[in-house]
Amino acid sequence: MNLLIVYGTTEGQTRKVAERMATDIRGRGHLVELLDSAKFTPDLKLGHFDAFVIAASVHQEHHQEAVTTFVFAHRDLLSGKPSALVSVSLSAALEGHEAAARKYVDRFVSVTGWQPRMT
Half-sphere exposure of residue 80: CA atoms within 13 angstroms, side-chain side: 8
pLDDT at residue 42 tops 80: no
**Which domains does the chain possess?**
2-112 (3.40.50.360)
Whole-number pLDDT of residue 92 = 61
**Kind of pairing, strands 31-36 and 51-59?**
unpaired
For the packed helices 65-80 and 98-112, what is the interaxial angle rounded to 10 degrees?
Answer: 70
What amino acid is encoded at 69 in this protein?
A: T
Task: Please give the model's pTM, rounded to 2 decimal places.
Answer: 0.90
Q: What is the pLDDT of residues 70-108, one digit of tens each?
A: 998 899 999 999 999 999 987 666 676 677 778 888 999
Instruction: Measure the CA–CA gap between 58 and 104, rounded to whole angstroms.
Output: 7
